[in-house]
Amino acid sequence: MTSKVLIIATNGFEQSELLKPRENLENAGVSTTLASPETGSIKGWNHTDWGESVDVDMSIEDVDVEQYDALLLPGGQMNPDILRMNGKVIQIVRDFDAAGKPIAAICHAPWLLAEAGLIEGRTVTGWPSIRTDLTNAGGNVVDREAAIDGNLVTSRNPDDIPAFSKALLDLLGVKKSSSELAESDA
């Protein structure tokens, strides 16, 4: 049976942190669905300017957590900052955790884990500017490519995408080596 991963993003997602992990998942035979509070398409951020648009598959309002095996949360500064103010998004994050399903958050996306109250007592990482927030949320913050704690996978930045993707695939029971995985364009 094919694993199914839900990706949640909105305008301002870090382009490589959505596109490359999604590519890695799909190349490994995992099905992905992009949900957003927006309809139609959302626009990525590519390093220092607006990047590509990607089509949204479904509204956040229509998400049924039971239909998915894992959750992927791309970073960028704007994307998670907007999403953490959306009660439905935070409830979805909590529901994935309550079900023990893998949640993978990269860069600034661990803000969503903090907002959902999932950081306390957990080992996590993230972009350097949010590490104080993660510590204040009760996390044991480390500086490594992929911090894995139970069902949570967190990473620091686009350079960590191969390790981030591999950690999520491992939690899904899909074996791939890091050398088989697409890297960031950073």
Q: Is the pLDDT of residue 186 over 70?
A: no
Least confident range of 1-5, 35-39, 56-60, 119-123 = 1-5
Query: pLDDT tens-digit profile of 105-114?
Result: 999 999 999 9
Query: pLDDT tens-digit profile of 62-103?
Result: 999 999 999 999 999 999 999 999 999 999 999 999 999 999
Give the domain ranges of the chain: 4-180
CATH fourth-level superfamily of 4-180: Class I glutamine amidotransferase (GATase) domain (3.40.50.880)
**Which residues are identified as catalytic?**
108
Task: Provide the strand spans (E) within the chain.
Answer: 4-8, 13-14, 31-36, 41-46, 49-55, 58-59, 70-73, 103-106, 123-124, 140-141, 147-149, 152-155
pLDDT score of 2: 85
User: Which position has the higher pLDDT, 178 or 18?
Assistant: 18
Question: Which DSSP letter does residue 184 get?
Answer: P
Q: pTM for the whole thing?
A: 0.95
